[in-house]
């Protein structure tokens, strides 16, 4: 489905009802708006795992402007301020009031910008494996720890200059290091696990020109940390203890910058960048507790 918000049509999908039969009444559950990572990819990164949460919320999946099945728009509008404004406009267009907004990786950056720009709009915020400001020094040290000097050098080349060759090298050498499951058992995945990892990548709809535009531009300079004090809703920050991309130290920076009375923090020691793959049970239990508390 698509909805027009100003100059662009955004694609979204819905899993579950907002109003559910409950005896003689209709019971309303909260709406959980999911903001995908990337910005190379689309909302299919959430499927099917996140359907685990449909018992406590209506799930709404959104493809950011320029991503997935949403309209491409223009490169001058591929920026965090615009993506955050899109979240607000999207909710208003569909009359979604007080959403719980969950952002993973890049989606977490958009979620923070949105919640800081429109502090009265969300009811809750969930930030998964994300950063408010890139610390490339931390990232490179983490890749070297996991994959040696080669991994560090390849990561540095890609994040400094995302050419097709540098991108290919990065995903070949550094990609497996993002999932702790492959770090622990690189040659011992079950057939089911290996098949799902391969298929989940094949299902993605990508826009590499947008990714290159962001990596070479705003990704290098943005700093949301000073803005986080404006966030005015309960916020759950989730980090993978073995994540080399958005390190636990980056999550701790976010926690320190948020109003202390609003923030909760959970670290999953056996998880990498993809907590949902590495520690699915504890991950969804933490989100469910936060939604229902």
How many Cα neighbours within 13 Å face the side chain of 287? 29
* pLDDT, position 41: 85
Please tell me the distance from the alpha carbon of residue 47 to that of residue 31, in angstroms, as a whole number: 17
E strand or H helix at 215: helix 208-216
The pLDDT of residue 128: 98
- Cα 255 from Cα 162, distance rounded (Å): 30
* Dihedral sign, Cα of residue 191, residue 192, residue 196, residue 202: positive
Strand positions, DSSP E, the chain? 2-5, 8-15, 19-22, 25-28, 31-35, 58-62, 100-104, 124-128, 235-240, 263-268
Q: Which of 221, 284, 224 is nearest to 254 (CA)?
A: 224
Each residue's pLDDT tens digit in the chain (293 positions)? 999 999 999 999 999 999 999 899 999 999 999 999 988 789 998 999 999 999 999 999 999 999 999 999 999 999 999 999 999 999 999 999 999 999 999 999 999 999 999 999 999 999 999 999 999 999 999 999 999 999 999 999 999 998 999 989 998 899 889 989 877 765 566 767 666 666 666 777 778 889 989 999 999 999 999 999 999 999 999 999 999 999 999 999 999 999 999 999 999 999 999 999 999 999 999 999 999 98
Burial 157-176 (b: 16+ CB within 10 A, else e): bbbeebeeebbebbeebbeb
pLDDT at res. 272: 96
Q: What pLDDT is attached to residue 182? A: 79
pLDDT at 196: 65
pLDDT at 195: 67
What number of other Cβ atoms are within 10 A of residue 253's Cβ?
19
Q: Where are the alpha helices (DSSP H) in 26-179?
A: 80-93, 106-117, 136-160, 164-169
Tallying the residues shown for the chain, one arrives at 293
d(CA 235, CA 132): 14
For residue 171, the model assigns a pLDDT of 87
Query: What does the alpha-carbon distance between residue 246 and residue 84 come to, in Å, rounded to a whole number?
Result: 20
What is the Cα–Cα distance from 71 to 94, expressed in whole angstroms?
A: 18
In degrees, to the nearest 5, what angle opens at C-alpha 103 toward C-alphas 56 and 217?
Answer: 170
Domains of the chain with CATH codes: 2-134+211-292 (3.40.50.1820), 136-207 (no CATH)
Residues paired with residue 5 on neighbouring β-strands, in sequence order: 8
């Amino acid at each position: 489905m698509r909805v027009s918000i100003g100059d662009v049509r955004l694609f979204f999908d819905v899993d579950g009802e907002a109003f559910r039969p409950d005896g003689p009444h209709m019971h309303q559950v909260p709406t959980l708006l999911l903001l995908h990572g990337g910005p190379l990819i689309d909302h299919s990164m959430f499927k099917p795992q996140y359907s685990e949460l449909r018992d406590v919320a209506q799930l709404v999946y959104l493809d950011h402007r320029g991503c997935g099945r949403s309209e491409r728009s223009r490169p001058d509008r591929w920026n965090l301020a615009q993506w955050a404004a899109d979240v607000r406009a999207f909710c208003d267009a569909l009359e979604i009031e007080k959403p719980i907004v969950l952002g993973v990786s890049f989606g977490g950056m958009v979620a923070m910008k949105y919640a800081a720009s429109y502090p009265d709009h969300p009811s809750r915020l969930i930030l998964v494996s994300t950063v408010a400001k890139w610390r490339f020094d931390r990232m490179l040290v983490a890749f070297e720890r996991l994959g040696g000097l080669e991994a560090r050098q390849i990561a540095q080349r890609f994040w400094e200059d995302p050419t097709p060759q540098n991108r290919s090298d990065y995903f070949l050498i550094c990609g497996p290091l993002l999932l702790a499951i492959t770090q622990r058992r690189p040659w011992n995945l079950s057939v089911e696990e290996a098949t799902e990892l391969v298929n989940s990548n094949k299902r993605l709809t990508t826009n590499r020109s947008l990714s290159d535009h962001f990596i070479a531009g705003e990704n290098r300079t943005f700093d949301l940390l000073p803005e986080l004090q404006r966030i005015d809703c309960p916020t759950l920050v989730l980090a993978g203890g073995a994540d080399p991309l958005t390190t636990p130290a980056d999550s701790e920076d976010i926690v320190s910058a948020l109003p202390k009375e609003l923030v909760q923090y959970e670290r999953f020691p056996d998880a990498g960048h993809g907590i949902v793959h590495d520690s699915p049970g504890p991950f969804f239990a933490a989100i469910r507790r936060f939604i229902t508390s």
